[in-house]
Structure 1
Amino acid sequence: MKSLKNEIIARICYTDLVYDRINKKLNSELSNDKIEEIIGSVINETEESDFQQKGKNVYITNKARNIRLTINSNTFRIITADRLK
């Protein structure tokens, strides 16, 4: 049985609109490749105990980077990235 973390790493995907949303939410102007690199790093660095599945979404909270990712658990599409308050 695959772990949720490994499943997300293997299947994560992005839409064109999500890059703009992430830049807006993180108040940045990163390239699409840089966003994918950061998202991949956050997922890899985060312990699976910080992956929380609620309904159709998975929330990945990385306190060291002060970021929370939201990923659709059915399509494995990244929905957004938010700074922690």
Structure 2
Amino acid sequence: MRTPASQRALLVKISENVCYTELVYQRVNKKLSVDWSHSETEAWVQAILRDPDSLVEQRGKNYYVANQRRKSQLTVNSHNYRLITVNRLSK
């Protein structure tokens, strides 16, 4: 398990390097049932990555960033920092 300081450092690194594809913008809108522009999606992702309550875990080749307040989880590739998908958390 990561210490909070190392989690914060990892979240900062992900925040500075996260990138997007056209497909992921569409996927975010579909999964969250929203109609956001690219900049709105990016702002939402940055808000999660910069939130001190977000938790990050690496499993395999992906980072999973969970934020209970926003009831959302980001999946980010750990090699190229590309956002893969988002999911709503049930709790």
With normalisation by structure 1, the TM-score equals 0.91
Which digits, 9 at most, give the CA deviation of each residue in 1:46-78, with x for residues without a partner?
Answer: 446x10000000000000010000000000000
Please tell me the residue identity of whatever aligns with 1:74. H
Which digits, 9 at most, give the CA deviation of each residue in 1:22-60, with x for residues without a partner?
Answer: 000001111111000000001100446x10000000000
Map of 1:43 onto structure 2: 49
Cα distance in structure 2, aligned partners of 1:14 and 1:34: 13
Say if 1:46 and 1:60, in contact at 8 Å, map to a contact too: no
Say which SS state the counterpart of residue 43 (structure 2) adopts. Answer: helix
4+ residue runs of structure 1 moved beyond 3 angstroms? none
Structure 2 unpaired stretches of 5+: 1-5
Q: Percent identity?
A: 37
Say which SS state the counterpart of residue 81 (structure 1) adopts. Answer: strand
Cα distance in structure 1, aligned partners of 2:62 and 2:29: 20
With normalisation by structure 2, the TM-score equals 0.85
Structure 1 unpaired stretches of 5+: none
The alignment's C-alpha RMSD in Å is 1.7
Map of 2:3 onto structure 1: none
